Amino acid sequence: MANEQEEGLSAEGELNQKERQAAAVSTHPAGRPAVEQLVSDTYAAALDPLHYDQLLDTWQAYLTAGSPRDFIASTSRIKLIHRQVETHFSQAFEILEQVGTRSKETNTEQEFLEHIPSPAIVLNASGCVVAKNSLTSSLAVPLGPDRQLDLKSLLGDEGAESDVRAWLRSGGEHFASLSARMTHQSNRQTYILIGHKLTIGSRSSKTKQDRHLLIFVSPQLTNELRTQLTDMFSLTSAETDIVSALASGVTLQWIADTRGTSVDTVRSQLKSIFRKTGTSGQSDLVRLILSFCFTHALVDHADFPKTDVLSTPKDHAVERTFQLSDGRCLSYFELGDPSGTPVLFFHGILSGPRLSSKIAEHARDRGLRIIAPSRPGYGGSDRLRMDSVDWVCKRLNEDVNELLACLKVEHAVIAGHMMGAVYAFQFAAFRPELTRAIISVSGAIPIVEARQIRSLPPRQRVIAYTALHTPKLLPFLVRAGISQIKAGHEDRFLYALYKSSPADLDALRDPLIRQVALEGVHHAVSAGPHGFCMDSQVLLAQWPNSPSEVRCPVRIFHSPDDTVVSIEDVKSFAATHDFPVTEAEGGQFMLHRSDVLLEAVAEFV
């Protein structure tokens, strides 16, 4: 099956050797500007949710650099994403898991600082120290008049001082990192300096202040961290010793003298370390190791205050939970007429199962009972171990079948919105005797050509590229998006998602549709990145059950304004299986701008 999918996606042919070489050169560690920017943006997004959009732009440029034909969309899956980038993504993911956006929900500088597992200082815009945590007692923090931070004495490096002052003058909007030698009481030790802007005050607070956070990260390679570094990068014991020494700020000559060898030998070993870690020099290597140490300190640190999530009235939809036979919980919504004709509704990835109060009212008037389960990893449903796509679809079918049996549903119209259409077809093939009809609204269709991915809007395209070619890196990108949403920047997230679709942006001006869209986004992220990542894999794979196996009536409703799945591709898919297609205005939000779903259901009840 995997081979068939590869053949489908490679319909436009493989890259020639020249294109491969160009792509390889553009993303090789020697080409530092692209990698430097990506690493910087990675940690910036981990510390500042507003940097998420820049990260995705940089990541897409990194993926597609070197080939005018978008080399990453080919099925050769060239292994050009070197280990350094994977490591940084993994570490930044851990930072998000521990910190996320919670720094923006604390009420005071001191409360926030005490949750940081390294010496940390908060500055105001003029560079005055307004707070510092208890760990700064291990540092000599020189203060000038009016508690002004003496950067020159603190950093001991004119270049570092210049960088920090420039960062403060710019407003400190972006993440900054550098390696600097700083006074640690009587000793000299190397630190990485991490800076980012934060806002003090809760979301409901009337008074919020911009502050600038400086975190001093020192290398502490415990035996556990040494073992992890050795295993992660396949380092020898001698190479690990050299890495540890360099992170401590000593010279190559000192390392050679201590080990009783020559500097040339140490340089030779260092070249091997650069190759294994994907770094380009000593400063890059030190940055990698120090960020690694800081991440693990965060993982071991105390818990942080929780982040608020969107709370909305649930008067038109009742959420319930059902315990499955394997002990997991499945959350589902019911709306409309509780004793009406059942309609099983499969939600999209970012479009949730609650639907709108308008749809609920019309369903009640028409005598329809809409049952909308949350898939594993969404909302209140427990996650499902990610196995093969066939296995995931089979387990979901079994889960929903258990739910319907409990609710004594013997027949139902099966509806799918966006990604939910995939699961609607799968369930109909699994329980043909239960299915009255399938209704697809703005539904996904099988991905059979690379062209379909390349034609996606920018935000959806970069996620698809990542899911298809570097799936291990997808959780971080999703988690960074969750960070932006939970920080209260839902509108920014929605705009980036739909900015290439005038019809969808117009729909979002409707307060009711905007509310439903926000609820869908929060439903997708409330349980973490698992559900999103699982669905991304399913969407890009070959469908376990072909639509040709479906024997019930099928109705497809799609908008010519849909920028994610083109109406031309939908018509081609439908013609292959002799499914009728009805065009309707409204883009991806067609479901909420018209009565197409309920009118279609009425045909079969």
3-state secondary structure 573-600: HHHHHCCCEEECCCHHHHHHHCCHHHHH
Dihedral angle over CA of 360, 366, 368, 372, nearest 10: -30
**Average pLDDT of every residue of the chain:** 77
**For 57-64, what is the mean pLDDT?**
80
Q: In angstroms, how far is CA 435 from the centroid of its own chain?
A: 35
Task: Report pTM.
Answer: 0.64
Alpha-carbon span 75 to 320, nearest angstrom: 43
DSSP 206: S
411, two tokens: 């027949």
pLDDT band at 445 (very low <50, low <70, confident <90, very high): very high
Dihedral angle over CA of 263, 265, 268, 272, nearest 10: -120
Alpha-carbon span 481 to 499, nearest angstrom: 16
Alpha-carbon span 246 to 253, nearest angstrom: 11
Which region holds residue 114: left if phi is over 0, alpha if psi is between -120 and 50, else beta? alpha
Alpha-carbon span 515 to 287, nearest angstrom: 43
Which region holds residue 201: left if phi is over 0, alpha if psi is between -120 and 50, else beta? left
Tokens 């998006």 sit on residue: 481
Q: In angstroms, how far is CA 602 from the centroid of its own chain?
A: 39
pLDDT > 70: what percent of the chain? Answer: 69
Of 42-56, 203-217, 468-482, give the lowest mean pLDDT range: 203-217
Tokens 């690493």 sit on residue: 39
Give percent helix, percent strand, percent coil of the chain, each to the nearest 5: 50, 15, 35
Of 17-26, 102-111, 349-358, give the lowest mean pLDDT range: 17-26
Contacts of 223 (CB under 8 A, 6+ apart): none
* Contact in structure between 191 and 293 (CB atoms under 8 Å): no
Res 136 pLDDT > 60: yes
Alpha-carbon span 306 to 302, nearest angstrom: 12
Alpha-carbon span 454 to 464, nearest angstrom: 9
* Angle value at C-alpha 598, between 595 and 599, nearest 5 degrees: 75
Res 78 pLDDT > 50: no
Of 219-233, 253-267, 292-306, 424-438, give the lowest mean pLDDT range: 292-306
Alpha-carbon span 474 to 56, nearest angstrom: 11
pLDDT band at 39 (very low <50, low <70, confident <90, very high): confident
Half-sphere exposure of 429 (CA within 13 A, CB side): 18
Give per-residue burial for 337-367: e unless 16+ CB within 10 Å, then b.
beebbbbbbbbbbbbbbbbbbebbebbbebe
DSSP 343: E
Candidates 178, 240, 212, 207; CA nearest to 43 is 178
Res 598 pLDDT > 70: yes
Alpha-carbon span 161 to 143, nearest angstrom: 15
User: Three-state SS for 552?
Assistant: coil
Res 12 pLDDT > 70: no
Alpha-carbon span 361 to 110, nearest angstrom: 49
Alpha-carbon span 290 to 171, nearest angstrom: 25
Q: What is the pLDDT of residue 139?
A: 64
Q: Over the stretch 154-187, which tens digit does the pLDDT of each residue have?
A: 666 666 677 777 777 776 554 445 444 454 443 4
149 vs 106, higher pLDDT: 149
Q: What is the pLDDT of residue 99?
A: 55
Res 228 pLDDT > 50: yes
The helix/strand count (H/E) of the chain reads as: 26, 13
pLDDT band at 324 (very low <50, low <70, confident <90, very high): very high
**In angstroms, what CA-CA distances link 80 with 71, 173, 294, 360, 502?**
11, 31, 27, 49, 36
Task: Tell me which amino acid residue 450 is.
Answer: A
Alpha-carbon span 477 to 490, nearest angstrom: 16
User: Three-state SS for 291?
Assistant: helix
**For 88-110, what is the mean pLDDT?**
57
* Contact in structure between 46 and 99 (CB atoms under 8 Å): yes
* Contact in structure between 430 and 397 (CB atoms under 8 Å): yes
Q: What is the pLDDT of residue 79?
A: 47
Q: Over the stretch 486-538, which tens digit does the pLDDT of each residue have?
A: 777 888 889 889 999 999 999 998 888 988 998 899 899 888 889 999 999 99
* Contact in structure between 44 and 174 (CB atoms under 8 Å): yes
Task: Tell me which amino acid residue 352 is.
Answer: G
* Angle value at C-alpha 519, between 534 and 562, nearest 5 degrees: 70
Beta bridge partners of 211: 198
Beta bridge partners of 439: 415, 555
Q: What is the pLDDT of residue 574?
A: 96
Alpha-carbon span 406 to 383, nearest angstrom: 21
